[in-house]
Chain A
Amino acid sequence: MQEPAARFRASWVERLRSLGILIPFIALFVTLSLASSSFFTKVNLLNILDQQSATLIIAAAGTLVLVAGGIDLSVGATYSLAGVTAGYFAQRTNPALAIFLGIGAGVLVGIANGVITTRLRINALITTLAMSFVVSGCAALITKGNLLVLFDKPGFGKLARTEFLTVNTSTWLMAGAVIAIGIVLATTAAGRYMYAAGGNAEAARLAGVPVDRIRVVTFVVSGAAAGLAGVIDTSRVLSAQASSADTGLAFTVLAGIVVGGTSILGGEGAVWRTVVGVLFIALIGNGYILLGLDPLYEQITMGVILIAAVGLDVWTRRART
């Protein structure tokens, strides 16, 4: 039997852990506000959100994949494919169709990932990594290596570049998508099944949870989110190309999710954490620029923080048992 005092202390540690990245985030936010006069301005903050909108959307969906016990490394390539698909059709047809097909491409990649990992039982890490090559290749086939320029298609640009209540639609779309994904994970039966599938797949299956189906759903959401992000960014900059640099996006996204405190082992995590994690990383980048620090150190800082975040997760897990 535990004494009440002991139980209180244990739950206090648990609670502190559950706040996780929020405390360093607030500390960094306050520090930057004090250190740089241009940080805490509407322009700068909205700019950060706008720049991070693609990452935030993909990371929010990626949180579902991780919670359900999977991982999706193909999101960077999917983002790219969706961008060039939308760009390609925006040049030739109307913007609405281009948007639809761009997101549709992402959904298809998600379905493929989901089916391969659940039906064929191939490890998600390998599947999505391999898929990222296939998808990158497809994107390159569409562009034939060229930059798709859409400066003469302002209609397509309206998707991301319209201002509504002084904020860009790209930010509004991001907020809508992230909140919707967060609500799904936190309050729906599907979300509950994701936690169960990632927490203990066999126990979940024996409790009647359709584990495979729910994992497919997470991959489809992830693909669709990467598709939406790609389309938004193409609309934002009015150009698209199949760039191999976009595969790096998958790791940026993963870093944000993990820094936020969602476990790579599945079964634990939340979308709000991911939002804080992604923004924390963004603040570091923003801080380096505003304070005029040597940007060469930025990546080193990032890596150290990532290890610290994962280390903290592992360490507190061990302390609990």
Chain B
Amino acid sequence: MHLELADVSKHFGGVRALDGISVEIERGSVHALVGENGAGKSTLGRIVAGVLAPDGGRVLLDGTAVSFRSPREALDLGIAAIAQEPSIVPQLTVAENVLLGSEPLRAGFIRRRSLRREYEKLSASAGFELPGDAPAGRLRTAEQQKVEILRALSRDATTIVMDEPAAALSAPETAQLHEIIRSLSAQGKTIVLISHFLREVLELATTVTILRDGQVIRTSPTSEETEESLVLGMLGRPLTSAFPDKVGPPADSPVVLSVRDLRAPGVAEASFDVRAGEIVGLAGLVGAGRTEIARAIFGASPPEAGAATLGSGLAVGRSPRDSLRAGVAMIPESRKEQGLIFGRSAIENVSLPRLGDFCRIGFVRRGAERRIARQMLERCAVRGAAYSSPVRTLSGGNQQKVLFARMMLCNPNIVLADEPTRGVDIGAKRAIYDLLVSLAADGLGVVLISSELEEILGLAHRVLVMRRGRLVAELEGPQMTEPAILAAAFADRSAGGAAA
């Protein structure tokens, strides 16, 4: 027995996040926590890591009760946490970040050479390479996570809590992460893995605990679980099918968006068409330029050269305001940073782009605004939430649906959906898939960007693969397979690696 949670409870304001949780985590195991958003898995992870203190119950480490007042205290006892968004100091180098707070010192001055040596020893034992003197801020998310993992190892952590480590990673990066987790586990480290990806859980974990509404449904060896049994446990009901049926656009459907020789920051060159009723999937590694294409078409960061033209012949890409008026809408990559005004209500967030429609001589007619916004929110199946309370209080899935409601209010011809299901639970995912499919069925052109290949394969009628700012493959019909996409996304990676 290594770590034991006995009857742990946690409240936030009046909300009960954890309700008498008891879990035992074996030494050297990979223990997964699964559940819908709001089930309490992140809260549990944060209690284990000392970020939060429980309101009730006890945390036992090797049989003795411990109460961490800070992550530092947990770290002293060998428990480290790796957050979804890595916390690094971007200006410092990788090595400095790894050893931050435990630098080798002499009379208060950092001994650079022994810092360097210590770092090299550490990265050799971890089994992966990172340039120690590169500024950490230049690294990609996947590499920043490695910095955090090294940091945990440098403090001799025996238990590492990982909260959605793969959420912001592309497929190949995820594969690498899985390798790291396996090797850590082989070294006898205990891993607490919080994840939305059930396949990942089944592949990596030895034990899995299912949480629902702040309570443990069951803890069992993963060998006894399947994706279906996990979903059943998490939802309390079976999930019908992951994806809606695919209905392709009619053969003669017109082109509604045509992109020619588009160049923008992060996009070297891109040309493609989107037809009415078509869902075009944009696949590739994180940083391959997928988001940048969407942003250029939408005018969020206007293109440097080339053009994006609508079926009507109108060019877009000057500014978001113009694009919205011309009928192009974007669901941005990050709903928190780029999507929603968190402090305002769902209704106000929905009406924002078309506020002028609800105004009389500059004054907002709240009745009309409320009525129309409510209609859109209901069409997007935003449920169990007060439309007039701040969107900050809504669940991740509902927040994402608020963005869809806003987009539908704009009545667009083109929808650019960038990671529309990121951080959203299974039930809400299906609802979002249904929305995307129904938009296409209504004759809209949809560009879907996703790092989850299943999503691309399950929804798109045609897949474009990007690599280093260029479109490198176009896959259609039976060509659309996971290996084909990965091969195209990766292709000159190995060649580039060999050259370097």
Contact = CB atoms under 8 A, between A and B. Distances in A.
B343 A188 contact: no
A203 interface: yes
A195 B320 CA distance: 19
A320 B14 CA distance: 10
Given A190-B362, A208-B353, A267-B343, 13 more contacts: A1-B38, A2-B15, A3-B16, A6-B14, A10-B15, A188-B364, A192-B364, A196-B352, A199-B343, A205-B300, A207-B352, A208-B321, A209-B321
A38 to B, nearest CB: 42
Contacts of B393: 10
A188 to B, nearest CB: 5
Chain B interface mostly helix, strand, loop or mixed? mixed
B363 A202 contact: no
A48 to B, nearest CB: 32
Interface string B403-433: 0001000000000000000000000000000
Interface in A180-213: 187-190, 192-193, 195-196, 199-200, 202-210
B338 A203 contact: yes
B15 A6 contact: yes
B330 A206 contact: yes
B13 interface: yes
B362 A188 contact: yes
A7 interface: yes
Contacts of A268: 343
Contact of B406 (A189, A190, A207, A320): A207
- The residue in A6, A189, A209 that gathers the most chain B C-beta atoms within 10 A of its C-beta is A189
Interface in B309-335: 320-321, 324-325, 330, 332
Contacts, number: 99
A204 B343 contact: no
B320 A205 contact: yes
9 contacts: A6-B13, A192-B352, A195-B344, A204-B352, A206-B339, A208-B321, A209-B353, A267-B341, A320-B392
Nearest to A7: B14
A319 interface: yes
Given A200-B342, A206-B332, A189 B362 contact: yes
A321 B13 CA distance: 9
A100 to B, nearest CB: 24
Interface of B: 13-16, 38, 213, 298, 300, 320-321, 324-325, 330, 332, 337-344, 348, 352-353, 355-356, 359, 362-364, 384, 386, 389, 392-393, 406
Contacts of A9: 13-14
Contacts of B340: 200, 203
B384 A1 contact: yes
B200 to A, nearest CB: 26
Interface in A1-35: 1-3, 5-11, 13
Interface in A204-241: 204-210
Contacts of A196: 341, 344, 348, 352
Contact of A10 (B13, B38, B298): B13
A55 to B, nearest CB: 27
Contacts of A205: 300, 320
A192 B348 contact: yes
A143 B14 CA distance: 61
B283 to A, nearest CB: 23
A11 B364 contact: no
A8 B356 CA distance: 34
Interface residues of A, number: 35
Nearest to B369: A192
A208 B357 CA distance: 13
B354 to A, nearest CB: 8
Contact of B13 (A1, A13, A202): A13
B359 A189 contact: yes
Contacts of A193: 355
Contacts of A195: 341, 343-344, 348
A8 B332 contact: no
A200 B353 contact: no
A209 B352 contact: yes
Contacts of A210: 321
A202 B16 CA distance: 33
Given A5-B14, A208-B324, A319-B13, A203 B341 contact: yes
B338 A202 contact: yes
Contacts of A321: 392
Contacts of A187: 363-364
B428 to A, nearest CB: 13
Contacts of A1: 38, 213, 384
A96 B353 CA distance: 41
A199 B341 contact: yes
A114 B341 CA distance: 23
A207 B14 CA distance: 33
Contacts of B337: 200, 202-203
A10 B342 CA distance: 17
A193 B342 CA distance: 14
A320 B340 CA distance: 17
Interface string A106-146: 00000000000000000000000000000000000000000
Contacts of B324: 207-208
B359 A203 contact: no
Contact of B339 (A7, A203, A319): A203
Nearest to A197: B341
A187 B361 CA distance: 11
A193 B321 CA distance: 13
A200 B403 CA distance: 14
Contacts of B13: 6, 9-10, 13, 319-320
Nearest to B214: A1
Contacts of A192: 348, 352, 355, 364
A300 B213 CA distance: 49
- The residue in B213, B298, B324, B355 that gathers the most chain A C-beta atoms within 10 A of its C-beta is B355
A209 B320 CA distance: 9
A47 to B, nearest CB: 35
B324 to A, nearest CB: 4
A147 B288 CA distance: 66
A9 B12 CA distance: 11
A203 B384 CA distance: 24
A192 to B, nearest CB: 6
Contacts of A190: 362
